[in-house]
Amino acid sequence: MNSRNKNILSFNSLSDANDALLELFSELPKPISRILLSGGSTPISFYELLSKKDINWSNYLISLSDERRVEVSGSLSNEGTIKRIIYDHSFNNSFVSLLDDDSESKLNSIASYDLCILGMGNDGHIASIFPNMSNLEEALYGKASLLNLYDGYPDVSRVTMSLNEINKSDQIILLVKGEKKFNLLMDERANNNLLPVDHLFTQMINKIKVFKII
């Protein structure tokens, strides 16, 4: 039996998964909850759901698992996209941008995150940790909080949290939408052919819940 089976929660719709995420969100510790959000298309509807709730964002500290090095006003910016959806001044004030000059020192001052929401790409990447990136070993095993991808792989330059930084999370929700991605997640791979998502499980299996969205 695949050891990841115990980590899986299945949902018939994205709406059902969002409701479960919202319940987790409401149970986060107070007075300050520390959360890592993800870019990509899958969590967008969850952010839209949050935007409709009466949330005191001053009780939260929020950052991202990765970001493209583009203008926040642009459509490729994860930070900009989420801020435009939430559209709340206190949310913006609670947000730690990965593009700030002092972002790494800010992250280093955070002992742990209460919740991390991640997606997974069709190639098994998580955050902006890609299978063929030039500094993959550093992203998987290094101690730095953040790494830069200056070569523009796969599209533009990026900054990503390392697995070491993501591992500061008390609980990790991995959103997996569709059978293709789910089958990739569940495939057995040899040690010399592991994908970034495999390393995530190797290091943090007891923290991860997979939200499988059919």
Position 16 scores a pLDDT of 98
Position 151 scores a pLDDT of 76
Position 153 scores a pLDDT of 67
Name the nearest CA neighbour of 197 among 169, 97, 208.
Answer: 208
Residues of the chain with pLDDT under 50: none
Please answer whether residues 23 and 48 qualify as being in contact, where contact means their C-beta atoms are separated by less than 8 angstroms. Answer: no
Q: pLDDT tens for residues 53-89?
A: 999 999 999 999 999 999 999 999 999 999 999 999 9
CATH code of the domain in which 186 resides: 3.40.50.1360
Structural domain total, the chain: 1
Name the nearest CA neighbour of 43 among 15, 80, 68, 84.
Answer: 15
**Backbone angles phi and psi of 45, in degrees to 5:** -65, -25
Position 9 scores a pLDDT of 98
- In angstroms, how far is CA 106 from the centroid of its own chain? 18
Position 72 scores a pLDDT of 97
Position 155 scores a pLDDT of 82
Assigned token pair, 51: 């935007």
Q: pLDDT tens for residues 15-33?
A: 999 999 999 999 999 899 9
Show the domain range for 42: 5-213
Average pLDDT in the chain: 96
